[in-house]
A and B are shown apart, each in its own frame.
Chain A
Amino acid sequence: EVQLVESGGGLAQPGGSLRLSCAASGFTFSSYWMHWVRQAPGKGLVWVSRINSDGTSTSYADSVKGRLTISRDNAKNTLYLQMNSLRAEDTAVYYCARELPRYYYVMDVWGQGTTVTVSS
């Protein structure tokens, strides 16, 4: 079964850090571009970041550039999101998602999400 499972969410203080993980199974992880998408409480979906299949190319939403870093370990079939200098507005459910090959930004498999709360 194709599956993505996020972990690492929790409560962090403003200015603090968290690292989210997304464990992939059931498909050849190293062949797929991957994304992080977030959703603040009661709000819509917001794209956060994208990484290519070998981890050499990344892109970010302006709102997180310089604070959040996407990476991957293809040997461990795991995607990461390192979150530094956290702000209250980073409070959200964070989803990892797989990109459909040859279809730019089409996300065909999603994890269940992990919740990040930034509060003092």
Chain B
Amino acid sequence: DIQMTQSPSSLSASVGDRVTITCQASQDISSYLNWYQQKPGKAPKILIYDASNLETGVPSRFSGSGSGTSFTFTISSLQPEDIATYYCQQYDNFGQGTKLEIK
């Protein structure tokens, strides 16, 4: 089974900061890596699919990159509404999540 390891598990940043979350796969998954945002008490929302494709309607400050085993999710300028937990996903495997808070 493929394991997805996200880091960090939590992160505190200031409004306007550049925020980066990484996801490591235990074996080569090509570009089959997705990123979701989940706000407290809400359902997850797809942001990025196939490593770097921005879902329609998602702000351009969100981006993704990587291939193989190493992937990065970036918020170029953190906004207050970005407070959420972010998950990477490869097929039936989710990462453990990164809780993002405002400093």
Asked if B62 is an interface residue, CB under 8 A from chain A, the answer is no
Asked if A1 is an interface residue, CB under 8 A from chain B, the answer is no
Interface string of A91-120 (1 = CB under 8 A from B): 000010100100111111011110000000
In the complex, the chain A residue whose C-beta lies closest to that of B34 is A106
- The answer, among B32, B36, B46, B90, for a CB contact under 8 Å with A45, is B36
Which residues in chain B, 57-89, are within 8 Å of chain A measured between CB atoms? 85, 87, 89
Interface string of A49-93 (1 = CB under 8 A from B): 010000000010100000000000000000000000000000000
Chain A nearest CB: distance from B51 CB in Å? 11
Chain B nearest CB: distance from A70 CB in Å? 13
In the complex, the chain B residue whose C-beta lies closest to that of A105 is B91
In the complex, the chain B residue whose C-beta lies closest to that of A107 is B46
| Bound: A112/B87 CA distance, A | 17
| B-to-A contact residues, CB < 8 Å | 32, 34, 36, 38, 42-46, 49-50, 55, 85, 87, 89-97
